[in-house]
Amino acid sequence: MLAGALDRRRLAEVFLIVRPETVLGWHRRLVNRHWTRPPTRTTGRPLIDPENRKLTIRLATENSDWGYRRVHGELARLGHPIAASTVWNILRAEGIDPAADRTGPTWIEFIRSQATSQPESTTTHASTLPDVPRDYASTLQTTGPTYR
């Protein structure tokens, strides 16, 4: 419809703002830039600071009996903002067990040992002067096997 209203010569001047070689050059540069540039990281969580990573690994290796929560607490005390789950992930990635080896009883063994002990209560009084009210003291002891 528009082509019928304009003659061919006028139509060529109106629609060809840039030459075809220019458009092909733009396309060539766009394709080259897309396929030759390394991809840039623009989304997702930011990477962990390498200083925090090194310090986490150092604390965990120097103190093998610490768990990831203790390492996290020490990092927080030193002023390094890092989450406990991040400490866990760093230690797992380095092949370090995030939970320190525990040598004590299991939770069930501990509860059973506490359940077998029997509490024993004793109340005593001490009289200092005849006109002063008595002082009472109460003690609570457990007898039987307990975990120590």
In a domain, 31, yes or no: yes
Give the number of domains in the chain.
Answer: 2
- Please report whether residue 110 resides in a domain: no
17 belongs to a structural domain:
yes
Range of the domain at 13: 2-36
Residue 58 located in a structural domain: yes
Task: Report helix, strand or coil for 83.
Answer: coil
80 φ/ψ sector (left φ>0, alpha ψ -120 to 50, else beta): beta
**Residue 93 pLDDT exceeds 70:** yes
Shared-domain flag, residues 23 and 56:
no
Q: How far is CA 117 from CA 46, 104, 108, 112, 113, in A?
A: 52, 18, 15, 9, 7
Q: Is residue 102 part of a domain?
A: no
pLDDT of 115 reads 72
Do 55 and 88 lie in one domain? The reply is: yes
* Cβ contacts of 137-142, under 8 Å, gap ≥ 24: 142/117, 142/118
Give per-residue pLDDT as tens, 13-67.
Answer: 666 677 778 888 999 988 887 777 666 767 777 888 899 999 999 999 998 888 8
Give the pLDDT score at 125.
Answer: 67
Bridge partners of residue 140, in order along the sequence = 121
Q: Of residues 76 and 100, which shows the higher confidence score? A: 76
Higher-scoring residue by pLDDT: 10, 69: 69
Residue 146 has pLDDT above 60, yes or no: no
Q: Is residue 126 part of a domain?
A: no
Tell me the whole-structure pTM to 2 decimals.
0.44
The answer to whether residue 109 sits within a structural domain is no
Q: pLDDT, tens digit, for every residue of 114-128?
A: 777 667 777 776 666
Residues 31, 56 within the same domain: no
Element (H, E) at 134: none
Q: Is residue 117 part of a domain?
A: no
Asked if 121 and 139 touch (Cβ cutoff 8 Å), the reply is yes
